[in-house]
């Protein structure tokens, strides 16, 4: 959520009028993140988030936007994308959710209430686990299909690009873990994992709480069809660790998993492969942070994340495998 593309007040105002959302009152760039351009946008009718997509293409974007609309209609608290009111038809009742501004594909979604909980308790983790299971079940009949674009194929393509920027011990770990994950992906247990649309980036700063109650998940622009266990692992690697060391927090993890399983019981293959998927989740974000840190794009307010955090998490997961009760 950096600002790569500067949006003028008049350009945003024209989009607001096109979507019949009232009169523009305020447009403010959002600091943080590294993928898209984001603005808070306020009109006399409400508060919204304007996103300009810097890497994703117009062909890829409908998967994310219509997934959010699909989930919103099934009472999953996500930012609801706004359509051009003139674009709906009997064959396309949702209308056109993808727009263009400043020559970039863009979307305008409702702004969620609340704030991110950056020091979560077991109760916060349980709330996230329960809602993630509800999301997985609600998305089972989503008709569009797009793979996780930051999955194993991307790891294999990207590791050679970041190797010149890391130390010899780091390179050895990257090579070894990538080989391990390629091996896991050929196993019968991996093939048996339940699959469907996943968020794939559900970190603490992508969830909102208000007065202790979960009010929504956002930033779906890494979503794709993958193993649901991968989504669980990404969450456990962020919500249920000690941030300073990457060490596993068993109490918070148990709260998360039990709440998730109360909605969708876990399969035997998921329990078997949890240690491998925790390593996969750590590897995925170590690679992407290395890429963003060493091969950055220019942007106003760009704040790349520290890659060494997920190196620590991965080393913890290799040395201290986490099993599921």
Same domain, 218 and 250: yes
* Residue where a domain terminates, one of 44, 76, 110: 110
Same domain, 151 and 68: no
Same domain, 96 and 126: no
Helix (H/G/I), strand (E/B), else coil: 286:
helix
Instruction: Note the pLDDT tens digit of each residue in 12-39.
Output: 999 999 999 999 999 999 986 568 999 9
Question: What are the two backbone dihedrals, phi and then psi, of residue 254, each rounded to the nearest 5 degrees?
Answer: -65, -40
The CATH number assigned to the domain holding 93 equals 3.30.200.20
* Residue 116 within a domain: no
Instruction: Note the pLDDT tens digit of each residue in 202-232.
Output: 999 999 999 999 999 999 999 999 999 999 9
**Tally of domains within the chain:** 2
Instruction: Note the pLDDT tens digit of each residue in 185-208.
Output: 999 999 999 999 999 999 999 999
Instruction: Note the pLDDT tens digit of each residue in 148-164.
Output: 999 999 999 999 999 99
Same domain, 222 and 129: yes
Same domain, 308 and 218: yes
Mean pLDDT score, 66-95: 94
Token pair 């020091």 is at which residue? 119
First to last CA, the chain: 37
User: Who contacts 2 (Cβ-Cβ below 8 Å, separation ≥6)?
Assistant: 31, 32, 33, 34, 35, 36, 37, 38, 299, 300, 301, 302, 303
Same domain, 129 and 106: no
pLDDT beyond 50 at 61: yes
Give me the domain span that covers residue 299: 122-319
- At residue 172, the pLDDT reads 98
Among 242, 233, 245, smallest CA distance to 312 is for 245
The CATH number assigned to the domain holding 257 equals 3.90.1200.10
Task: Output b/e per residue, 245-268; b: 16+ Cβ within 10 A.
Answer: ebebbeebbbbbbebbbeebebee
What are the C-alpha distances in Å from 161 to residues 158, 164, 279, 287? 5, 7, 20, 10
Instruction: Note the pLDDT tens digit of each residue in 234-274.
Output: 999 999 999 999 999 999 999 999 999 999 999 999 999 99
C-alpha 256/C-alpha 281 separation (Å) is 16
Same domain, 159 and 282: yes
* pTM of this structure: 0.94
* Residue 54 within a domain: yes
* Residue 179 within a domain: yes
Helix (H/G/I), strand (E/B), else coil: 47:
strand
Same domain, 99 and 207: no
Contact 276, 184 (CB under 8 A): yes
* Residue where a domain terminates, one of 110, 133, 148: 110
Query: If you write DSSP's letter for every residue of 76-97 in order, what string do you get?
Result: ---PPBPPPTT--BTTBTT---
Residue 1 half-sphere exposure toward CB, CA atoms < 13 A: 15
* Residue where a domain terminates, one of 110, 142, 168: 110
Instruction: Note the pLDDT tens digit of each residue in 263-316.
Output: 999 999 999 999 999 999 999 999 999 999 999 866 544 567 899 999 999 999
* Residue 134 within a domain: yes
């Amino acid at each position: 959520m950096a600002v790569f593309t500067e949006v003028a007040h008049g350009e945003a105002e024209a989009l607001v009028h096109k979507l019949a959302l009232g009169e523009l009152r305020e447009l403010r760039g959002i600091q943080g993140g590294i993928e898209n351009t984001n603005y808070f946008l306020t009109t006399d009718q409400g508060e919204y988030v304007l996103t300009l997509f810097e890497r994703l293409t117009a062909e890829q974007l409908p998967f994310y936007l219509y997934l959010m609309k699909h989930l919103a209609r099934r009472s999953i608290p996500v930012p609801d994308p706004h359509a051009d009111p003139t674009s709906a038809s009997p064959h396309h009742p949702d209308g056109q959710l993808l727009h263009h501004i400043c020559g970039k594909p863009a979307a305008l979604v409702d702004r969620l209430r609340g704030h991110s909980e950056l020091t979560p308790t077991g109760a916060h983790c349980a709330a996230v686990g329960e809602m993630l299971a509800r999301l997985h079940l609600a998305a089972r009949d989503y008709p569009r299909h797009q793979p996780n674009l930051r999955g194993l194929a991307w790891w294999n393509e990207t590791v050679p690009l970041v190797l010149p920027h890391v130390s010899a011990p780091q390179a050895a770990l990257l090579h070894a873990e990538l080989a391990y994950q390629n091996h896991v992906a050929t196993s019968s247990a991996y093939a048996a994992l339940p699959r469907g649309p996943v968020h794939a980036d559900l970190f603490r700063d992508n969830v909102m709480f208000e007065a202790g109650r979960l009010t929504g998940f956002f930033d779906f622009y890494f979503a794709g069809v993958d193993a649901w266990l991968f989504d669980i692992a990404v969450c456990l690697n962020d919500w249920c660790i000690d941030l300073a060391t990457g060490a596993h927090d068993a109490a918070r993890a148990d709260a998360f998993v039990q709440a998730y399983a109360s909605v969708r019981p876990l399969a035997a293959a998921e329990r078997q492969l949890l240690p491998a998927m925790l390593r996969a989740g750590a590897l995925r974000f170590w690679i992407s942070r290395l890429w963003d840190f060493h091969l950055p794009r220019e942007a106003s307010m760009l704040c790349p994340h520290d890659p060494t955090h997920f190196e620590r998490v991965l080393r913890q997961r290799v040395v201290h495998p986490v099993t599921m009760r």
